[in-house]
Amino acid sequence: MRRCRCLRLALGEEVAKRYRIVIDNPLETAKQVARGIEKVREFRIETQDAFFFNWGLHIELQFQQPFKPTHANMAGLKLHRDQPAHLLAADLRRAFSGIVAGNVKEEGMRAIAEHGPFEIDGDPQIMRALDKMLAGFVAQQRMKLPGGTAYVPCYKVKVRA
């Protein structure tokens, strides 16, 4: 699937085992969620883990820290494959979080209005795939602001040759 190209390019083919995309099919989505819940239930029984808290889950402190999507923080993201995949995945999540903030959160929208779009830079192949994926989302949703104004992205992906 085209949308997955960016994730697979950045994180490797192994990442495809970690997600399933269901489009325009609420019934199938519900079935997938139910299957996932059942797998978790079986795992918790098998490992004698509690149902009310995931005692076996360890999240490193750096991933628990909130990300403030400022222009400096967005520009400082490390979107390169010369690092462990989990670190790249964390910075990709931060990039998406910044895009959401620039679109819908008052503080993010105000920063965009004052300083222009967030600039996202990194590995040229990843940036090309990210730019294509985001452009596809925009085109697919035909995002419009109130009053019929066309959507203007709050980000600029630096795409180098």
Contacts of 89 (CB under 8 A, 6+ apart): 10, 11, 15
Domain interval for residue 128 = 2-157
The three-point CA angle 97-98-99 to 5° equals: 90
The number of residues in the chain equals 161
Query: Which residue ranges of the chain lie beneath pLDDT 50?
Result: 1
The three-point CA angle 131-143-33 to 5° equals: 80
Global pTM value: 0.79
pLDDT score at 3: 55
Domain count, the chain: 1
CATH number at residue 150: 3.40.50.450
pLDDT score at 21: 87
- Residues 5-26 as b/e (b if ≥16 CB within 10 A, e otherwise) read ebbebbbeeeeeeeeeeeeeee
Cβ count near 73 (within 10 Å): 13
